[in-house]
């Protein structure tokens, strides 16, 4: 077969497949050539630039930003939602909806879901999820102490209870404050059999759903009574802290920042978050950019769900994830 004949056949097969939507098996039958050859000819159509595939994302879809985040920080997946403004409420609504859709699509049977309790972004996510009837998850485990101010405590319990209802799972609460008054009182609380039972569940978690905190805690966390004082946060910053997950602080490279304050926190440690099978972080907003960047650089995040303003700022930075 001459080169011109080969190109003509490649073009004909490509036309039938891409323009006329003819199945490969039907092309094989019509042109009297083996189906395996049809497949090879379609590959050659791409190799020879006879067929050029382009993807035009519709408005509100940020494929380039998502690809940039995956490549720059080495994460498994990035989902970038469109926020109509950079106001916190607008950003929370956008990323909450995006995270809800992601979870509805990816939660599997027998999943053990770990969830932080004092996160506005996770509250928005849970409130946006519709019941996932196809799934029978196993447990929803609270990974950050949920006791505190009674008014705000109801929000923490709502996140765990509602997510368990939506995924047909059993809720597993962590009946302790997020911050104990002293290391000694933390030790007493950790010895409680109900607390011990929940902490043992940390090892079972297959899907970790977390927020990322900045050095300025959200009003939900502050009002819960589970935040450090400004002086204590300044001390952490002096040791290099830029953000946290469940008040487990890390530096600009995502490495743990350990101070005596750590001995009062009742939440899953960073090393256990990092070891989890899949960690989905839902976070956005300019003030959180250093913390989100650090969490990705430190390998604490597998999937990031954020807004397009935050994504643009993250990609404007130079660091590359450490390996």
Task: Label the pairing between strands 243-245 and 248-250.
Answer: antiparallel
Q: Quick one: pLDDT band at residue 1, thresholds 50, 70, 90?
A: low
**Per mean pLDDT, which range of 91-105, 187-201, 212-226 is the poorest?**
212-226
3-state helix, strand, coil in the chain (%, to 5): 50, 15, 35
Q: Quick one: pLDDT band at residue 320, thresholds 50, 70, 90?
A: very low
**Which residues sit opposite 267 in a β-bridge?**
144
Tokens of 270: 């960073």
The predicted-structure confidence for 250-273, as pLDDT tens digits, reads as follows: 999 999 999 999 999 999 999 999
Asked if residue 136 lies in contact with residue 164, where contact means CB atoms within 8 angstroms, the answer is: no
**pTM to 2 decimals?**
0.85
**Backbone CA torsion sign across 135, 139, 144, 149:** positive
Q: Quick one: pLDDT band at residue 4, thresholds 50, 70, 90?
A: confident
**Backbone CA torsion sign across 309, 312, 318, 322:** positive
* Separation between Cα atoms, residue 218 and residue 244, nearest integer Å: 12
Nearby residues of 199 by Cβ (< 8 Å), 6 or more positions away: 174, 190
For the chain, percent of residues with pLDDT exceeding 90: 79
Asked if residue 176 lies in contact with residue 145, where contact means CB atoms within 8 angstroms, the answer is: yes
How high does pLDDT run on average in the chain?
Answer: 92
- How many CB atoms lie under 10 A from the CB of residue 24? 17
The predicted-structure confidence for 140-166, as pLDDT tens digits, reads as follows: 999 999 887 877 788 788 999 999 999
- Residue-level pLDDT at 321: 47
């Amino acid at each position: 077969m001459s080169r011109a004949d080969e190109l003509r056949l490649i073009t004909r097969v490509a036309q039938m497949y891409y323009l006329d939507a003819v199945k490969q098996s039907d092309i094989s039958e019509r042109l009297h050539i083996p189906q395996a050859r049809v497949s090879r000819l379609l590959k050659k159509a791409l190799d020879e630039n006879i067929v050029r595939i382009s993807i035009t994302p519709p408005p509100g879809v940020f494929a380039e930003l998502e690809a940039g985040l995956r490549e720059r920080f080495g994460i498994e997946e990035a989902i970038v939602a469109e926020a109509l403004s950079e106001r916190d409420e607008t950003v929370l609504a956008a990323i909450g909806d995006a995270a809800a859709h992601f979870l509805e699509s990816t939660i599997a049977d027998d999943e053990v879901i770990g969830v932080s309790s004092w996160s506005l972004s996770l509250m928005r996510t849970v409130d946006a999820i519709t019941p996932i009837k196809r799934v029978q998850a196993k447990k929803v485990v609270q990974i950050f102490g949920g006791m505190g101010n009674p008014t705000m405590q109801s929000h923490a319990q709502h996140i765990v209870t509602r997510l368990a209802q939506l995924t047909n799972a059993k809720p597993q609460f962590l009946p302790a404050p997020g911050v104990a008054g002293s290391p000694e009182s933390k030790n007493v609380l950790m010895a409680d059999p109900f607390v011990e039972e929940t902490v043992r569940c940390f090892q079972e978690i297959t899907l970790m759903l977390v927020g990322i905190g900045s050095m300025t805690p959200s009003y939900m966390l502050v009002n819960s009574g589970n935040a450090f004082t400004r002086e204590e946060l300044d001390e952490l910053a002096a040791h290099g802290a830029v953000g946290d997950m469940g008040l487990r602080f890390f530096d600009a490279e995502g490495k743990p920042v350990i101070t005596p304050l750590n001995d009062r926190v009742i939440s899953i440690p960073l090393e256990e978050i990092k070891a989890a099978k899949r960690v989905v972080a839902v976070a956005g907003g300019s003030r959180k950019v250093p913390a989100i960047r650090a969490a990705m650089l430190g390998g604490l995040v597998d999937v990031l769900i954020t807004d397009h303003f935050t994504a643009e700022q993250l990609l404007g930075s130079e660091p590359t994830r450490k390996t």
